[in-house]
Amino acid sequence: MEYTNECQTFNSLDKVHLIEPYDRWKELYTADEDQLSPFYGRTYHESECHNTIYNYYIHPQWDEFGSSTLYIKILFVDYVKQFAIIEIMGEWNDCIYNDIMYLKRNVADLLVQENINHFIIIGENVLNFHYSDDSYYEEWFDDVEDGWIVLLNFRDHVLQEMKRARIDYYLISTPAFQQINWRKYLPDSLFTLINEQVSKWLNASC
Protein backbone atom coordinates (compact mmCIF):
# COMPACT_ATOMS: atom_id res chain seq x y z
CA MET A 1 0.00 0.00 0.00
CA GLU A 2 1.36 3.43 -0.93
CA TYR A 3 0.25 6.97 -0.23
CA THR A 4 0.67 10.05 -2.36
CA ASN A 5 -0.18 13.68 -1.80
CA GLU A 6 1.07 16.98 -3.07
CA CYS A 7 4.31 18.28 -1.59
CA GLN A 8 3.57 21.55 0.19
CA THR A 9 6.46 23.94 0.69
CA PHE A 10 6.67 27.65 1.31
CA ASN A 11 9.21 30.29 0.36
CA SER A 12 8.11 33.26 2.45
CA LEU A 13 6.78 33.58 5.98
CA ASP A 14 3.54 35.26 4.92
CA LYS A 15 2.44 31.87 3.53
CA VAL A 16 3.55 29.83 6.53
CA HIS A 17 0.01 29.41 7.94
CA LEU A 18 -0.92 27.36 4.86
CA ILE A 19 1.64 24.63 5.52
CA GLU A 20 0.32 21.65 7.46
CA PRO A 21 2.30 18.71 8.83
CA TYR A 22 1.95 15.56 6.75
CA ASP A 23 -1.13 13.73 7.99
CA ARG A 24 -1.55 10.63 5.82
CA TRP A 25 -0.01 8.35 8.46
CA LYS A 26 -2.31 9.42 11.30
CA GLU A 27 -4.20 6.13 11.26
CA LEU A 28 -0.87 4.41 11.92
CA TYR A 29 0.55 6.77 14.56
CA THR A 30 -0.16 10.03 16.36
CA ALA A 31 2.30 11.48 18.86
CA ASP A 32 -0.42 12.91 21.11
CA GLU A 33 -1.75 9.37 21.71
CA ASP A 34 1.67 7.78 22.27
CA GLN A 35 2.40 7.64 26.02
CA LEU A 36 6.15 7.57 25.31
CA SER A 37 6.05 10.63 23.06
CA PRO A 38 7.20 14.11 24.19
CA PHE A 39 3.83 15.36 22.91
CA TYR A 40 1.56 12.83 24.58
CA GLY A 41 -1.77 14.33 25.61
CA ARG A 42 -1.52 17.49 23.52
CA THR A 43 -4.73 18.87 22.09
CA TYR A 44 -5.08 20.84 18.87
CA HIS A 45 -7.49 23.44 17.60
CA GLU A 46 -8.51 22.76 14.02
CA SER A 47 -8.63 26.38 12.88
CA GLU A 48 -7.36 28.75 15.58
CA CYS A 49 -3.63 29.56 15.28
CA HIS A 50 -1.55 30.33 18.38
CA ASN A 51 2.12 29.75 17.58
CA THR A 52 4.08 32.17 15.42
CA ILE A 53 7.38 32.59 13.59
CA TYR A 54 8.44 36.24 13.70
CA ASN A 55 4.81 37.28 14.27
CA TYR A 56 3.51 35.14 11.40
CA TYR A 57 0.97 32.55 12.55
CA ILE A 58 1.60 28.90 11.69
CA HIS A 59 -0.84 26.03 11.25
CA PRO A 60 -2.14 24.79 14.65
CA GLN A 61 -1.11 21.16 14.04
CA TRP A 62 2.61 21.93 14.40
CA ASP A 63 4.15 21.19 17.81
CA GLU A 64 6.13 23.72 19.81
CA PHE A 65 9.16 22.26 21.60
CA GLY A 66 10.93 25.33 23.03
CA SER A 67 12.13 27.20 19.97
CA SER A 68 10.41 30.40 18.86
CA THR A 69 11.24 29.91 15.17
CA LEU A 70 11.25 26.14 14.60
CA TYR A 71 8.36 23.69 14.98
CA ILE A 72 8.03 19.96 14.49
CA LYS A 73 5.68 17.03 14.03
CA ILE A 74 6.62 13.50 14.98
CA LEU A 75 5.03 11.63 12.09
CA PHE A 76 5.88 8.10 13.15
CA VAL A 77 7.81 6.13 15.77
CA ASP A 78 8.56 2.41 15.80
CA TYR A 79 10.00 1.34 19.15
CA VAL A 80 10.76 -2.17 17.93
CA LYS A 81 12.74 -1.14 14.85
CA GLN A 82 14.02 1.89 16.77
CA PHE A 83 13.28 4.69 14.32
CA ALA A 84 11.45 8.01 14.33
CA ILE A 85 10.32 10.16 11.40
CA ILE A 86 10.10 13.86 12.25
CA GLU A 87 8.98 16.73 10.02
CA ILE A 88 10.22 20.22 10.89
CA MET A 89 9.43 23.70 9.62
CA GLY A 90 10.49 27.30 10.13
CA GLU A 91 13.91 28.84 10.67
CA TRP A 92 16.60 26.72 12.34
CA ASN A 93 18.49 29.28 14.39
CA ASP A 94 21.16 27.99 16.76
CA CYS A 95 22.98 31.31 16.80
CA ILE A 96 20.25 33.39 18.48
CA TYR A 97 17.70 30.88 19.81
CA ASN A 98 19.81 27.75 20.39
CA ASP A 99 17.26 25.61 18.56
CA ILE A 100 19.42 22.49 18.58
CA MET A 101 19.50 22.56 22.40
CA TYR A 102 15.69 22.49 22.54
CA LEU A 103 15.46 19.85 19.81
CA LYS A 104 18.02 17.68 21.57
CA ARG A 105 16.80 18.09 25.15
CA ASN A 106 13.03 18.24 24.62
CA VAL A 107 12.62 15.76 21.77
CA ALA A 108 15.64 13.65 20.80
CA ASP A 109 16.74 12.85 24.37
CA LEU A 110 13.29 11.55 25.27
CA LEU A 111 13.18 9.33 22.20
CA VAL A 112 16.72 8.08 22.76
CA GLN A 113 15.67 7.09 26.29
CA GLU A 114 13.12 4.81 24.61
CA ASN A 115 15.91 3.24 22.51
CA ILE A 116 15.25 5.21 19.31
CA ASN A 117 18.58 5.43 17.49
CA HIS A 118 17.52 6.15 13.90
CA PHE A 119 16.15 9.60 13.10
CA ILE A 120 14.72 10.69 9.75
CA ILE A 121 14.42 14.48 9.84
CA ILE A 122 12.34 15.92 6.97
CA GLY A 123 13.29 19.53 6.26
CA GLU A 124 11.51 20.68 3.11
CA ASN A 125 10.06 23.60 5.03
CA VAL A 126 13.18 24.77 6.83
CA LEU A 127 13.85 28.18 5.31
CA ASN A 128 17.25 29.01 6.83
CA PHE A 129 19.94 27.70 9.13
CA HIS A 130 22.12 29.78 11.47
CA TYR A 131 25.02 28.09 13.23
CA SER A 132 26.41 28.43 16.74
CA ASP A 133 28.48 25.38 17.75
CA ASP A 134 28.43 21.63 17.31
CA SER A 135 28.27 20.39 20.92
CA TYR A 136 24.63 19.23 20.85
CA TYR A 137 25.04 17.68 17.40
CA GLU A 138 28.06 15.75 18.61
CA GLU A 139 26.15 14.60 21.71
CA TRP A 140 23.18 13.45 19.62
CA PHE A 141 25.53 11.63 17.24
CA ASP A 142 27.18 9.86 20.20
CA ASP A 143 23.80 8.96 21.70
CA VAL A 144 22.59 7.01 18.66
CA GLU A 145 25.76 4.88 18.65
CA ASP A 146 25.25 2.35 15.83
CA GLY A 147 22.24 4.26 14.51
CA TRP A 148 22.09 7.44 12.42
CA ILE A 149 20.48 10.85 11.92
CA VAL A 150 19.46 11.50 8.31
CA LEU A 151 18.39 14.85 6.88
CA LEU A 152 15.79 14.29 4.17
CA ASN A 153 14.83 16.79 1.44
CA PHE A 154 16.46 19.87 2.94
CA ARG A 155 16.96 22.93 0.74
CA ASP A 156 20.35 23.33 -0.88
CA HIS A 157 21.27 26.60 0.82
CA VAL A 158 20.38 25.16 4.24
CA LEU A 159 22.61 22.14 3.63
CA GLN A 160 25.42 24.41 2.43
CA GLU A 161 25.26 26.37 5.68
CA MET A 162 25.36 23.13 7.67
CA LYS A 163 28.32 21.95 5.64
CA ARG A 164 30.16 25.23 6.23
CA ALA A 165 29.53 24.75 9.93
CA ARG A 166 30.88 21.18 9.61
CA ILE A 167 27.94 19.62 11.41
CA ASP A 168 27.40 17.39 8.37
CA TYR A 169 29.86 15.07 10.14
CA TYR A 170 27.05 14.25 12.60
CA LEU A 171 24.03 14.45 10.31
CA ILE A 172 23.88 12.43 7.09
CA SER A 173 22.82 14.78 4.32
CA THR A 174 24.19 13.27 1.12
CA PRO A 175 22.51 14.19 -2.22
CA ALA A 176 20.81 10.78 -2.38
CA PHE A 177 18.62 11.83 0.54
CA GLN A 178 17.55 15.18 -0.87
CA GLN A 179 15.32 14.08 -3.77
CA ILE A 180 13.30 11.28 -2.20
CA ASN A 181 9.55 11.29 -2.74
CA TRP A 182 8.99 10.08 0.79
CA ARG A 183 5.22 10.62 0.71
CA LYS A 184 4.67 7.61 -1.53
CA TYR A 185 6.00 5.26 1.16
CA LEU A 186 4.57 3.84 4.33
CA PRO A 187 6.81 4.56 7.35
CA ASP A 188 8.24 1.03 7.47
CA SER A 189 9.15 1.11 3.78
CA LEU A 190 10.71 4.56 4.07
CA PHE A 191 12.88 3.43 6.98
CA THR A 192 13.98 0.34 5.03
CA LEU A 193 14.90 2.49 2.02
CA ILE A 194 16.85 5.01 4.10
CA ASN A 195 18.60 2.31 6.11
CA GLU A 196 19.72 0.51 2.95
CA GLN A 197 21.03 3.73 1.43
CA VAL A 198 22.88 4.64 4.62
CA SER A 199 24.56 1.21 4.56
CA LYS A 200 25.60 1.71 0.92
CA TRP A 201 26.90 5.19 1.69
CA LEU A 202 28.91 3.96 4.69
CA ASN A 203 30.39 1.09 2.68
CA ALA A 204 31.34 3.44 -0.14
CA SER A 205 33.00 5.79 2.36
CA CYS A 206 35.19 3.06 3.82
Question: pLDDT of 85-130, one tens digit each?
Answer: 999 999 999 999 999 999 999 999 999 999 999 999 999 999 999 9
Domain definitions of the chain by residue range: 13-205
pLDDT in tens, 51-77: 888 888 888 999 999 999 999 999 999
CA–CA gap between residue 56 and residue 52 (Å, rounded)? 5
Top CATH class of 13-205 equals alpha beta
For range 170-196, the mean pLDDT:
96
What is the share, in percent, of the chain residues with pLDDT greater than 70?
Answer: 92
